[in-house]
Amino acid sequence: MKPGSDRKDALNTYPPGPPLYIRGARLIDPDSGRDETGDCLIENGIISAVGKDCAVGRLPPGTQIIEAKGQVLAPGLIDMRVFIGEPGFEHRETLRSAGRAAAAGGVTTIVMMPDTDPVIDEPALVDFVLRRARDTSPVRVVPMAALTKGLKGQEMTEIGLLTWAGAAAFTSGRTSLTNAQVMRRTLAYARDFDALVVHHVEDPHLVGEGVMNEGEMASRLGLQGIPLEAETIPLERDLRLVALTGGRYHAALLSTAASFDVMRAAKRQGLPVSCGVAIANLTLNESDIGGYRTFFKLAPPLRTETDRQACVAALADGTIDVIVSNHDPQHVETKRYPFAEAENGAIGLETLLAASLRLYHAGDCSLVTLLRALSTTPADLLGLPQGRLAIGAPGDVILIDIDEPYVYDEAMIVSRSKNSCFERARFQGKVKLTVVAGAVVHS
Amino acid sequence: MTSFSDSPAAAHRHLLGIEGLSAHDITTLMDLAEGEISLSRQVEKKKATLKGRTLINLFFEASTRTQSSFEIAGKRLGADVMNMSVASSSVKKGETLIDTAITLNAMRPDLLVVRHHAAGAVHLLAQRVDCSVINAGDGAHEHPTQALLDALTIRRAKGRVGGLRIAICGDILHSRVARSNILCLQALGAEVRVVAPTTLLPSGIERFGVQVFTNMRAGLEGCDIVMMLRLQRERMAGSFVPSVPEYFRYFGLDEEKLAFAKPDALVMHPGPMNRGVEIDSAIADGPQSLIRDQVEMGVAVRMAVLQALARHLPNQ
């Protein structure tokens, strides 16, 4: 079977806007390495020209022209780990509210996790999400399907049919697959369809009663800790199974220096593996929990500053492939518990770019590296045509003022849930324009 | 750093933990408690310091001694005391914690004593009420009045705390008493050791500035005070230790192991004791035991804390 050849083209169902011409921007295209001042023309939802004076004298009638001097024009972000409450938990987030939050944050493609009710584990549900998103969300939504039925970790889902229906990849969602035999078989079977297996590596037994990173800080707070090994042990197991089966594998979220060492070695061996990091683990550490602040209760947990720096180094040296928001809306009342009893997760669609730019402003990594991990690489891993400023690519772009300072106030939060790690945070870098298929969805 | 003594403007509003208290705060409270001991020993045990004040004991976790100790302390100071025990089964998700806080706050208590099974729960509650909050134990985090009463008991028995070698033995991992005591005794200048099997030691415990021992005999060597902790029987099911007999054999306090401490060493236990699990009955009731003194000092310390906080309550 040839991968993707019979996949439904779910992506171009978005209504294209009128011709749009963005002029005088700093064009950054991680795919080609382009970084120059120039213009971009989008027609019928597709980029038709890009570069210096690329459409002078041939603008179609009725073209909307945007002057973007001093701003960065980049591919729209592709966020590979977003939890949405629809269907089943609409009080937390709907496809519409997530889409609006994404548009505000410069995310033009949401990759949605299957942890809904019902779980997205059959083709009809993939179809439901795609149609519902098309009708209600201002940005594209691509669902990942469950790797096992009901996310129970036992029976494999219909990887072929789900791919055909439009599932971008297969994942265990919030859960971790403890059964190595099931992991082996799904990796082997997924390989035949060139399907990507995305796994949350966190051994539930080693996590046990743990609620934050194990160590002095947890001990002082009287909270049970989660050891690093809860992440590295399942990761190492998975990588051996990848070597055995040849399946394409993506570790959804890594957070420890030891994990990156393991991942580096696997890549050096040439295994078909990649990994992601949550923006929280790149920009925050366990000290942010302070006096039991439950919005900082996350999975994987915030680690030490040494681990955070290891995340930054792994991003800069290419060990980390993608940065995700790990957007996980929780109703305020599931968070206003004592720390150990509160739910995990924080929203992040709106702050993904702004928080990532902290690394750029701190001199930790280049703009191109950041944008690649936020757009081009996720697109390549998922086989999506967007994520680049190239002729023929979908007209999903964003304009950023990378220096504009602002404070992310609770009143600004677009998401239906307000559990942000970055409440009242000072940011530098604001999305000025978000374009999906040539249509302006946020300005 | 705010203070328990000095001017009312610099007062602590709550007592949520030993963390954040200075050595001066701690000794001020101990001195204040010292003055309350005689009151409890006389026939007329009542003062009017807290007359008209309302004290609510809010216990989300069952407790006999701490709750009654706070109740007696409040009553001896003339406060109106109400006990609320919220069965832990009905507070599965802590939702009622916030609800209860809001409800109780509307009844305008002056002092709220709270015990909860989750670390940080008392902090959370303190953010939602207008009165003074006293932490009577939150999960494995802190139990400040226990540490204060232990320090007072030691000071009365030994004449000082600073310079003493004190071993805290047993289930350190799950113990709020251990955490508060480490902070309190270190602030007062004691040399603190912890003794437990590694499975019952919190990660990074050596960063607390304590000496760590996994062998009881070595740990008790030259100690002035041996403080035993309760071992919950559930710990066997969690694979922390294999059995009661094995635990008692290696980590229970008996004559033979106590002999490694100084000859005049004294033994403490926050209670309730599991006789024959972490401590031999003969030791618990023996001449070296301070366990009954601890209970008496508990009332005095709680009276001191209630008065210190009440001093800064609004008077109009």
Q: Check CB contact of B118 with chain A, cutoff 8 Å.
A: yes
CB < 8 Å to B179, chain A: 219-220, 222
Instruction: Compare all CA atoms of chain A with the CA of B96 and give the residue at the minimum distance.
Output: A337
List the structure tokens of B168.
Answer: 């805290």
* Residue B176 in marked binding region: yes
Flag whether pLDDT at B1 surpasses 80: no
Q: How far is residue A102's CA from residue B71's CA, in Å, rounded to a whole number?
A: 54
Query: Residues of chain A whose pLDDT is less than 50?
Result: 1-6, 11-12
Q: Would you kindly state where each structural domain of chain B is located, as residue ranges?
A: 8-142+296-311, 144-290
Q: Which CATH superfamily is domain B144-290 in?
A: Aspartate/ornithine carbamoyltransferase (3.40.50.1370)
For B178, the enclosing helix (H) or strand (E) is helix B176-187
Residues 6 or more apart in contact with residue A261 via CB below 8 angstroms = none
List the structure tokens of A434.
Answer: 């978000």
Residue B179 — φ and ψ, nearest 5°?
A: -60, -45
pLDDT top residue among A427 and B88: A427
Closest CA to A301 of A209, A415, A364, A431: A209
B95, B97, B120: residue with CB nearest A292: B120
List the structure tokens of A357.
Answer: 């730019």
Q: How far is residue B305's CA from residue A353's CA, in Å, rounded to a whole number?
A: 49
Q: Check CB contact of A223 with chain B, cutoff 8 Å.
A: yes
Is residue A210 a contact partner of residue A224, using CB atoms and an 8 Å limit? yes
pLDDT in tens, B117-137: 999 999 999 998 999 999 999
Closest CA to B115 of B182, B194, B58, B35: B58
pLDDT top residue among A197 and B7: A197
Angular region, B159: left φ>0, alpha ψ -120 to 50, beta rest: left
Q: How far is residue B170's CA from residue B173's CA, in Å, rounded to a whole number?
A: 9
A218, A221, A336: residue with CB nearest B98: A336
SS (H, E, C) B16-74: CCCCCCCHHHHHHHHHHHHHHHHHHHCCCCCCCCCCCCEEEEEECCCCCHHHHHHHHHH
**Cβ pair A341:B123 closer than 8 A:** no
**Cβ pair B202:A291 closer than 8 A:** no
pLDDT of residue A21: 96
Instruction: Compare all CA atoms of chain A with the CA of B201 and give the residue at the minimum distance.
Output: A219
CB < 8 Å to A223, chain B: 119-120, 139-141
- How many A/B residue pairs have CB atoms within 8 Å? 78
pLDDT of residue A9: 53
CA angle A329, A334, A339 (to 5 degrees): 110
CB < 8 Å to A333, chain B: 95
pLDDT of residue B232: 82
pLDDT of residue A301: 98
* Residue B145 in marked binding region: no
Average of per-residue pLDDT across B307-313: 88
* Residue B143 in marked binding region: yes
Beta-strand relationship, A397-408 and A72-75: antiparallel
pLDDT of residue B316: 52
List the structure tokens of A157.
Answer: 């889902």
Q: Check CB contact of A18 with chain B, cutoff 8 Å.
A: no
Laid out side by side, the sheet with A170-171 consists of A145-146, A170-171, A196-199, A248-251, A273-278, A322-324
* Residue B272 in marked binding region: yes
**Cβ pair A341:B118 closer than 8 A:** yes
Which value, to the nearest 10 degrees, does the dihedral of the CA atoms of residues A183, A184, A186, A188 take?
A: 160
**Cβ pair A291:B120 closer than 8 A:** yes
What ranges in A36-192 are assigned the alpha helix state H?
95-105, 123-136, 159-165, 180-192
Is residue B248 a contact partner of residue B276, using CB atoms and an 8 Å limit? yes
Q: Check CB contact of B115 with chain A, cutoff 8 Å.
A: no
**Cβ pair B207:A216 closer than 8 A:** yes
Using a 10 angstrom Cβ sphere, with 0-12 exposed, 13-18 middle and 19 or more buried, the burial of residue A246 is middle
Band of pLDDT at residue B94, cut at 50, 70 and 90: low
Average of per-residue pLDDT across B155-168: 98
CA distances from A242 to A186, A190, A319 (A): 11, 11, 17
List the structure tokens of B133.
Answer: 């909050």
A119 three-class SS:
coil
A304: amino acid identity, one letter: T
Residues 6 or more apart in contact with residue A240 via CB below 8 angstroms = none
Residues 6 or more apart in contact with residue B175 via CB below 8 angstroms = B140, B229
Q: How far is residue B23's CA from residue B35's CA, in Å, rounded to a whole number?
A: 19
Instruction: Compare all CA atoms of chain A with the CA of B123 and give the residue at the minimum distance.
Output: A291
- Report whether CATH 3.20.20.140 matches the domain A76-387+405-428: yes
pTM (predicted TM-score): 0.92
Q: Check CB contact of A336 with chain B, cutoff 8 Å.
A: yes
**Cβ pair A215:B204 closer than 8 A:** yes
Closest CA to B208 of A211, A304, A217: A217
pLDDT in tens, B255-304: 999 999 999 999 999 989 999 999 999 999 999 999 999 999 999 999 99
Closest CA to B152 of B292, B38, B293: B293
Q: Would you kindly state where each structural domain of chain A is located, as residue ranges?
A: 76-387+405-428
Closest-CA distance of chain B to residue A266, Å: 30
Angular region, B282: left φ>0, alpha ψ -120 to 50, beta rest: alpha
Rounded to the nearest 10 degrees, the angle between the axes of helix B23-41 and helix B176-187 is 110
Closest-CA distance of chain A to residue B213, Å: 17
> Which DSSP state fits A286?
G
**Cβ pair B94:A218 closer than 8 A:** no
List the structure tokens of A280.
Answer: 């929280």
Q: How far is residue A193's CA from residue A168's CA, in Å, rounded to a whole number?
A: 12
Closest-CA distance of chain A to residue B128, Å: 11
Choices 1.20.1440.120, 3.40.50.1370, 1.10.10.60, 1.10.3720.10: CATH for B8-142+296-311 = 3.40.50.1370
SS (H, E, C) A177-202: CCCHHHHHHHHHHHHHCCCEEEECCC
Is residue A62 a contact partner of residue A47, using CB atoms and an 8 Å limit? no
pLDDT of residue B9: 38
A67 three-class SS:
strand
Band of pLDDT at residue B95, cut at 50, 70 and 90: low
**Cα atoms in the 13 Å half-sphere on the side-chain side of A311:** 30
Instruction: Compare all CA atoms of chain A with the CA of B178 and give the residue at the minimum distance.
Output: A222
**Cβ pair B176:A222 closer than 8 A:** yes
* Residue B165 in marked binding region: no
Q: State the CB neighbour count (10 A cutoff) for residue B52.
A: 9
Closest CA to B55 of B135, B134, B110, B133: B110
Mutate to test the interface with A, among B14, B61, B91, B93 (most CBs of A within 10 A): B93
**Cβ pair A337:B116 closer than 8 A:** no
* Residue B235 in marked binding region: no
A235 three-class SS:
helix
CB < 8 Å to B172, chain A: none
Residues 6 or more apart in contact with residue A367 via CB below 8 angstroms = A28, A35, A72, A360, A402
Closest CA to A104 of A427, A296, A352, A359: A352
Closest-CA distance of chain A to residue B50, Å: 31
Residue B176 — φ and ψ, nearest 5°?
A: -75, -30
* Residue B65 in marked binding region: yes
Band of pLDDT at residue B234, cut at 50, 70 and 90: confident
Residues 6 or more apart in contact with residue B200 via CB below 8 angstroms = B170, B171, B172, B173, B174, B235, B240, B241
Band of pLDDT at residue B92, cut at 50, 70 and 90: low
Mutate to test the interface with A, among B61, B86, B141 (most CBs of A within 10 A): B141
Q: How far is residue B252's CA from residue B217's CA, in Å, rounded to a whole number?
A: 11
Closest-CA distance of chain A to residue B139, Å: 7
Beta-strand relationship, A425-436 and A439-442: antiparallel
For A247, the enclosing helix (H) or strand (E) is none
CA distances from A285 to A259, A282, B208 (A): 16, 8, 20
Mutate to test the interface with B, among A206, A207, A219 (most CBs of B within 10 A): A219
List the structure tokens of B32.
Answer: 């204040």
CB < 8 Å to A341, chain B: 93-94, 118
CA distances from A314 to A227, A263, A270, A436, B269 (A): 20, 10, 17, 31, 50
* Residue B54 in marked binding region: no
Exposure b/e, B11-48, CB count within 10 A at least 16 = b: bbebbbbbeebeeebbbbbbebbbebbebeeeeeeeee
CB < 8 Å to A225, chain B: 202-203
